[in-house]
Amino acid sequence: MNQTCEVITEHHASFPYSLDLKAGDSVRVSERREAGWIWCLDKDGVGAWIPETYLKQEGHKATMLADYNSTELTTKTGEELSCIKEEGGWIWCANQTGQQGWVPKPKVKKLPV
């Protein structure tokens, strides 16, 4: 994707923590689902939303198929971001200081190239 986007509505991260999982890691799957995302718990019981496409599910257990970081990026209206990839209505972005995280797609607009 790698495109410049502008924040049209500020976003505040929903969680004060994040999961940083690697391909092959195991997680516990909960019943909570939301438009292509599944609530999962790591080995320490810390939970986060993970894209369904990143998981190989076997009942209430799953294996990560790819590296994944659940960090949300807090943004301000008018801020320019480098938008890196999109997944299930969210975009993985980097701000001008290099911080990276997920931002809801409706809160940004792609700028002309």
CB < 8 Å & 24+ apart, contacts of 43-52: 46/17, 46/19, 47/19, 48/15, 48/18, 48/19, 50/19, 50/21, 51/87, 51/88, 52/88
Q: What is the pLDDT of residues 52-92, one digit of tens each?
A: 999 999 989 999 999 999 999 999 999 999 999 999 899 99
What pLDDT, in 10s, does the model give residues 5-49? 999 999 999 988 899 999 999 999 988 888 889 999 999 999 999
Domains of the chain: 3-14+71-110 (2.30.30.40), 20-69 (2.30.30.40)
* pTM of this structure: 0.90
